Structure 1
Amino acid sequence: MVKIAFAGGSGNVGSEIIDILVATQKHEIVLLSRKEAPAATQGITWVQVDYQDQAQLTKALNGVHTVLSFISEQDDPSSPLQRNLINAAVQAGVKRFAPSEWASSGTDQMGWYAYKGEIRRYLQQLNDKEKVLEYTLFQPGLFLNYLTYPYKSTKHLQNTETPFDFEQCRHLVVDGSITFTTVEDLAQVVARAIDLESEWPVVGGISGNELSMEELVALSEKIRGKSAKVEKIPVEELKDGSWKSSWSPRIEHPSIPADQVDQLSKFMVGSILLGVTAGEFVCSDEWNQLLPDLEFTQAEEYLTKAWKDKP
């Protein structure tokens, strides 16, 4: 049994992982949050913190073995809050740290992920001369759950539209492939990683399924029983922002203010497609290798079940 602290993990992906860890009844779970504790937090110790106060964070992390961060800092690529959290973890004697990754392997094409790249560099520099803090970058690619939109497929993950629309069987594509992993499988990996006695790999790729655009389109046609409408977007038009299509998804996420969704969606879709062309959504398989007995959910079986009897 170890003490695990979740930073910013009260919603979306973090809550999926908390549920799995609480269910094991093996560990003490602490949730660090800027918000006050809700009425019911069964199996969790809720601690209200100010991420700008490093001394307070250090005190909150006293006795913690592993920190899992879900802090999003799209508005400040220098990621000061996660830096404070890392520094506090070192001062408190935390053994393991997982920064706020939980997505793609690359970040260059997606500007809102700049803070992830900064924290990667910061952690690397921290351990440059000697091992100060063991850490891993949990990278599952794109959540397979998103392909069930508009139907919810898991308890906490907020579903959203993507360029790959199974409901209408239409897709905006480029040349490239994507790693798809369910958020449930990610949660299982993290739970198993907590118990792993050997050292965590720095790059923690998780590969549930790797699908090319052609394979993804064919899968949607097979599952939905009709021909897909496919629009291939020229890379140069994605780069200069001039690309057009007959439709475009609305990207909704807890980190995006509701009044900015329409404005940001086209930019984000273009950046996501550029990320696909650059290979930024293809993830390695370090955790697959470390957990060889863990069976990952296969895309065809999962999506066939999810779309059964759906209009």
Structure 2
Amino acid sequence: MVTPERSAQGLEVRQVSYEDHAQLVSALKGVHTLISLIGGDASALWNAQASLLAAARAADVTRFAPSEYAGIGYEGIDLYASSKAEIWTQCLAAKQETGMEVARFNCGLFMSILATGTSKGITEVGRREGAETGEEEALAGLRPWNFVLNLRAGTADLPGDGSAKVAWTEMRDVASFMFHALSLPRWPENLNMRGDLRSFREVLEIVQRVQGRKFLVRENSIEEMEDLAQEQGKRFYNQVRVALVKGYCDVPDDLNRMFPEIQPIDCESFVKKWWSDFPLPEAAWEKDQAFM
């Protein structure tokens, strides 16, 4: 299926059912590299990707990258342990049994979420991409999410004391690193990247300076976050925060060193772009989106 918009971009869309193995295999015939961008709940991350990987093996796909795009590992995060971890185990089996190259693209946290709530207007980049607002442009395909920091409300719900190092990578920079990785003669099992390495405390200092106001700050011990993870709808949020304290998102810069020509945006530049020069209310706690 080729839509006029995709055709103009030189892209082909192959419409398939993930429940139809033969159809998936047919769609993947002749494909060298398959990169999964599937997101959502554990069922989507597991069922659709398991079908995709099985079809990739049958179609003799050379390279496969499952949907990762986070920190390294899955320990203590139930959503990932029941989906991403299982898929990665299958990927390693495919590598051993067929010689398929498999790799996890690890980027830490998406820097783009730091634009959630911005009132800044759209730029030429956003207009070219079809975004309708500045926030939509900055999020670059992500849904709005006040994760730890609510930059509009002026609050910081820190993991621990907020000092753990975190890799941050803007969505378009993730795409640039992945595009360049296609040229590597062989893929290692982990393809790590980062746009910046900053603790939440460091990002908070940047935001307060750019916005010209003090945030309301709350520190959370590992024990407190583990207790909060037992509450309905707060498991994923708090399990990830616990993992952050333990270094989950301290992702190395392997792809940065392989491709020094890529100059990713850093946290300070991103925050200045999307949060400078417009008025904001006095800081106040809000109910944040702590789903799954």
In structure 2, what is the Cα distance between the partners aligned to 1:73 and 1:231? 29
Mean alpha-carbon deviation: is it higher for 152-161 or for 110-119?
152-161
Deviations 1:118-172, CA, capped at 9 Å, x for gaps: 11111112223x6621121111111111111113114433222111122233201
In structure 2, what is the Cα distance between the partners aligned to 1:110 and 1:294? 31
Matched, 1:165 2:150: yes
Q: 2:244 is matched with which residue?
A: 276
**1:257-268 to 2 correspondence within 5 Å?**
264=233, 266-268=234-236
Mean alpha-carbon deviation: is it higher for 36-45 or for 202-211?
36-45
Residues 226, 78 of structure 1: CA spacing in aligned structure 2 closer, same or farther, 3 A cutoff?
Answer: closer
| Paired AA for residue 300 in structure 1 | E
* Residue of 236, 246, 257 corresponding to 2:223: 236
Q: 2:200 is matched with which residue?
A: 213
* Residue of 155, 159, 178 corresponding to 2:166: 178
Q: 2:6 is matched with which residue?
A: 41
In structure 1, what is the Cα distance between the partners aligned to 2:259 and 2:171? 16
Residues 190, 242 of structure 1: CA spacing in aligned structure 2 closer, same or farther, 3 A cutoff?
Answer: closer
| Paired AA for residue 220 in structure 2 | I
* Residue of 27, 31, 54 corresponding to 1:64: 31
- How many residues are treated as equivalent by the alignment? 255
* Structure 1 residue 48 displacement after superposition: 1.8
**CA contact 1:106–1:281 (8 Å) conserved in 2:** no
Higher strand share: 1
* Structure 1 residue 85 displacement after superposition: 1.4
**CA contact 1:142–1:181 (8 Å) conserved in 2:** yes
* Structure 1 residue 177 displacement after superposition: 2.3
Residues 293, 277 of structure 1: CA spacing in aligned structure 2 closer, same or farther, 3 A cutoff?
Answer: same
Coordinate RMSD, CA, aligned: 2.4
TM-score normalised by length of structure 2: 0.79
* Structure 1 residue 225 displacement after superposition: 1.4
* Residue of 177, 186, 189 corresponding to 1:189: 177
Residues 201, 269 of structure 1: CA spacing in aligned structure 2 closer, same or farther, 3 A cutoff?
Answer: same
Deviations 1:273-298, CA, capped at 9 Å, x for gaps: 11211211221222112212211111
Matched, 1:126 2:99: no
Which residues of structure 2 form unaligned runs of 5+? 119-134, 280-292
Matched, 1:105 2:105: no
Residues 180, 47 of structure 1: CA spacing in aligned structure 2 closer, same or farther, 3 A cutoff?
Answer: same
